[in-house]
Structure 1
Amino acid sequence: MPALADHRSETRQVLARRLAAEFMTFTVDAVERCVADVQAVMTHLGVNPTPALVERMAREHLIGMVKSEPPSGRAAGPWGGALPGHVPHRADGGVGGTGKGGVDG
């Protein structure tokens, strides 16, 4: 079974690279984690995780995360820090910030 695991890992990496190029708002690690999570959930539910389905579901998840971001930037996580794997946006259109949901001074 190592050959199967290697193939899935390679496929996951290819999908993650393609999605990371499309969703530059997120870190590459966050996109890789999203793809791996989607593949694991599909397998757990008994759905055949074909590359096309994994990519489509991961893309929908990433789009949902982008659309859920408030206009002022990513809100802080429940423990006061920025959400992991996400680069907050500043109100002036730049990238970065305090991770506290506010605008840099």
Structure 2
Amino acid sequence: MVQAHTLVPLAMIVYDRRGQELKHVDWATGLYERPTGEHFTGGQRDPFWSWTHIQSHDVQDDHLTIAQQVGEVTGDGVHRTRVNDPAIYDLYCSVNALHRYEPPQ
């Protein structure tokens, strides 16, 4: 299923190698604003549009996984959601950033 005005898929069915249904995945999108009414995009009047949550149901194992966006994640340091920040490219997407990446052992 595809949302007509954005062409963003809203749901999909994943099949295994035998052609049996493996997973049903659906997700939602929305507009984000800060509680103060301030927008995320550097004070511009446009709100931040993105995905809000994803649900993945493994129909063979009857296991449901749900993921959602949050403003901050703690654990090994703190990661805060950033929008329209040019520094993100240098940190994660540049050739140098890719060379710095070390896969988990």
Q: TM-score range by the shorter chain?
A: under 0.3
Q: Give the TM-score, by structure 1 length.
A: 0.26
**Greater strand content:** 2
Larger radius of gyration: 2
Higher relative contact order (CA 8 A, sep 6+): 1
Q: Give the TM-score, by structure 2 length.
A: 0.26
